[in-house]
């Protein structure tokens, strides 16, 4: 997953990123423009959830690893005067010939006019970007369900496809069945890009509404993300109505709060009070919840005649015990008026 998401100094936003990454079974998470001054193991645990437990910040150039391909994550410079040096560095960062390469991130540049919703274009920089792509021997991996990846969040928005994924022919031959899809923008103005080595990412085939969902912060979080994604896609084809625009805005504000509520709920359910925020990921709290659940679980009930092990038998045994203990109701011959 590649995502430009700002404001990760907030623990609630970090939890929102973790929830989306875990829901899509992310193996590699690439983040740009996080606004984090320093990374720590606690932050990595918060963002990585139960599957991602290490990170690399500003990956070193000129080093090798035991991975099957090279991975580069970029955040392109916003200043047009510095884009020439950025593109030159992009070409120079290519690995030796014949080695697979994957580049993803927020480039802050486009190379086709169709990548922007209006005609306010800098064609000189677009041409330089195309030449840099050709020189590096890269091809763009097209997103299947979204045309644009960023919006300025206005009523009549400007939309641009500046978040991209490129690969060379060696990487393309190594993973021939790859597909790129976009997820909900959630708490960001950029949508995360999901690259999967499968026909399609793991979307749930059916949708069933359950009555307890409005009381579950985690379910509300994912429902809000799904609605935001639907409105993101609709916004590319038409202008959103006032109701739709306000709903999308309210959901993007609420989704961070829902993430904070779910994290607080798991922390409270775990009954762990000696940890400070960020000292443990949610998987730790869930493990403590499971320990408490197993400790409080009644495996069996011994009665005079048998041992009850199933839930129905244990419920019947407990009911019969307390009925006999409290006695039975008898009709009264008189009453107090």
DSSP 8-state symbol, 175? S
Average pLDDT, the chain: 80
For the residues of 30-51, what is the DSSP string, one character each? EEE----S---HHHHHHHHTTT
Query: Per-residue pLDDT averaged across 194-201, rounded?
Result: 67
Question: pLDDT at residue 269 above 50?
Answer: yes
- In this structure, the number of other CB atoms found within 10 A of the CB of residue 153 comes to 13
pLDDT tens-digit map of 96-111 = 888 899 999 999 999 9
Task: Supply the pLDDT for residue 62.
Answer: 40
**Beta strands per DSSP E along 259-325:** 301-302, 307-308
CATH class of the domain defined by 2-205: alpha beta
Flag whether pLDDT at 274 surpasses 60. Answer: no
Q: What is the pLDDT of residue 200?
A: 47
According to the model, what pLDDT value does residue 8 have?
Answer: 81
Quick one: pLDDT at residue 210? 61
Sequence ranges of the chain with CATH classification 3.60.10.10: 2-205
pLDDT at position 175: 82
Residue partners of 131: CB distance under 8 A and separation at least 6: none
pLDDT given for residue 214 in this prediction: 64
Residue of 98 and 206 predicted with greater confidence: 98
Query: Looking at the predicted structure, is the pLDDT value of residue 67 above 60?
Result: no
């Amino acid at each position: 997953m590649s995502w430009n998401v700002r404001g990760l100094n907030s623990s609630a936003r970090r939890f929102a990123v973790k929830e989306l990454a875990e829901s899509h079974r992310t193996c590699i998470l690439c983040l740009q423009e996080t606004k984090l001054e320093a990374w720590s193991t606690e932050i990595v645990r918060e963002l990585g959830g139960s599957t991602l437990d290490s990170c690399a910040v500003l990956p070193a150039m000129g080093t090798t690893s035991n991975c099957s391909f090279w991975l580069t994550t970029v955040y392109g410079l916003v200043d047009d005067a510095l884009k020439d040096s950025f593109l030159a560095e992009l070409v120079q960062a290519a690995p030796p010939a014949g080695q697979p390469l994957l580049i993803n991130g927020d480039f802050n540049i486009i190379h086709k006019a169709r990548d922007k919703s209006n005609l306010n274009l800098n064609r000189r920089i677009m041409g330089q970007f195309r030449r840099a792509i050709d020189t590096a021997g890269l091809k763009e991996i097209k997103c299947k369900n979204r045309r644009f990846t960023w919006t300025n969040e206005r009523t009549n928005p400007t939309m641009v496809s500046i978040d991209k994924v490129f690969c060379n022919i060696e990487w393309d031959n190594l993973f021939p069945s790859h597909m790129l899809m976009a997820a909900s923008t959630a708490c960001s103005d950029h949508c995360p890009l999901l690259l999967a080595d499968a026909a399609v990412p793991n979307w749930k085939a059916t949708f069933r509404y359950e009555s307890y969902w409005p009381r579950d912060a985690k379910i509300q979080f994912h429902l809000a993300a799904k609605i935001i994604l639907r409105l993101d896609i609709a916004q590319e084809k038409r202008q959103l109505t006032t109701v739709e625009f306000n709903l999308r805005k309210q959901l993007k504000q609420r989704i961070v709060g829902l993430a904070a509520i779910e994290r607080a709920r798991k922390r409270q359910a775990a009954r762990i009070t000696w940890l400070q925020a960020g000292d443990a990921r949610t998987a730790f709290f869930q493990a403590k919840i499971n320990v408490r659940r197993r400790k409080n679980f009644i495996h069996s009930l011994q009665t005079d005649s048998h041992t009850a092990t199933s839930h129905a038998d244990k419920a019947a045994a407990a009911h019969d015990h307390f009925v006999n203990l409290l006695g039975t109701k008898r009709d009264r011959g008189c009453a107090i008026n």
